[in-house]
Amino acid sequence: MKKNLLLFCCLSAALLFGSTDATENPQQLAALSKDTGAGQSATPWSNLNPKKLKLQSIAALIMEPSGKVVYAKHVDEPRPIASITKLMTAMVTLDRSLPLDETITITKDDRDLERLTGSRLEYGARLTREQLLRLALMASENRAASALARTYPGGRQAFVKAMNRKARALGMTDSHFVGPAGLDAGNVASARDVAKMVLAARRYALIHSATTTRRMSVRPYKGRGELRFANTNRLLKNKHWEIQLSKTGYINEAGRCLVMQAEIADQPLVIVLLNSFGKLTPFGDSNRIRKWIESGVEG
């Protein structure tokens, strides 16, 4: 019993305070197995009544970084995850240790030929790899994500293979990736797998910084003014939220999606909300979660 308790404590500390480099450590993510919470002692969530939490998202997961589930709803069904994909895109890019100060030019190859979405990054825009990475994460810039994959050693095909290889290393058994931006509905994952991806991504300092930056300005065109981008997660402007990582996503097949690692009632939690109907629904669900937890802990 003492050995098991020691192992659990070490695992929790490693996940919460792990290094921010790109080292994969599947053992640290093993706590996200489907047998979570068994035999563990009482937590701040012991008094929470799941029946009082009315969420509109089709799939939802609230979880401690240790892997202990606080709330779960349809968490094991693979479903399209839209731009949540960009968390994997960022990790694969950083894992390869490519020069972040290298200048990359946006080309016609970075167009969205699938959904014909627009972009403020016109052909010929020149930004560093780090700037593209930040724009892909905070503003969900699709051409930025495409350019990162295109300039990866071996090109887009090698990049997608690296994405699926990374998913397997993280124990994401209900996931599959076919592109870097999330525009293809073939990018799928279960809510439980997405939580694993969030925990892994939080360990990268640049991903933490980019996904929690509210605004960013760049100058991709010589002789022209700056372009200003805003974070797609409006909760970052809310003083009641302490967010360490976040990403939004949307395509028709995926609905509105939002994932975060945040502190609620002084406790770090991973929140995964997939397939919500309505632009504001994930943010409404997030606030319902925060109030549910705070009222339960305080009550």
Question: Is pLDDT above 60 for 2?
Answer: no
Q: Are 8 and 40 in contact (CB under 8 A)?
A: yes
pTM for the whole thing?
A: 0.86
pLDDT, tens only, 72-89: 999 999 999 999 999 999
Tens-digit pLDDT profile for residues 247-282: 999 999 999 999 999 999 999 999 999 999 889 999
Per DSSP, helices labelled H in 65-124 are 86-95
Q: Which of 57, 140, 146, 246 is catalytic?
A: 140
Q: Where do the domains of the chain lie, and which CATH numbers do they carry? A: 26-31+46-298 (3.40.710.10)
Residue 15: name the closest of 261, 265, 209 by CA. 261
What pLDDT does 297 receive?
Answer: 67
Specify the pLDDT at position 296: 73
Region 213-233: mean pLDDT is: 95
Rounded mean pLDDT of the chain? 88
* 269 Rama sector, left if φ>0, alpha if ψ -120 to 50, beta otherwise: beta
Is 12 noted as a catalytic residue in this protein?
no
Q: What pLDDT is attached to residue 118? A: 85
3 included as an active-site residue? no
Q: Which residues contact 84 (CB under 8 A, 6 or more apart)?
A: 182, 189, 194, 197, 247, 248, 249, 257, 259, 274
Catalytic residue among 66, 86, 146, 196: 86
Task: Please tell me which residue in 51, 52, 57, 83 is annotated as part of the active site.
Answer: 83
C-alpha R_g of the chain: 19
Distance CA 118, CA 97 (A): 29
pLDDT in tens, 93-146: 999 999 999 999 999 999 988 888 889 999 999 999 999 999 999 999 999 999
Catalytic residue status for 86: yes
Q: How far is CA 171 from CA 18, 19, 162, 199, 209, in A?
A: 18, 19, 14, 12, 25
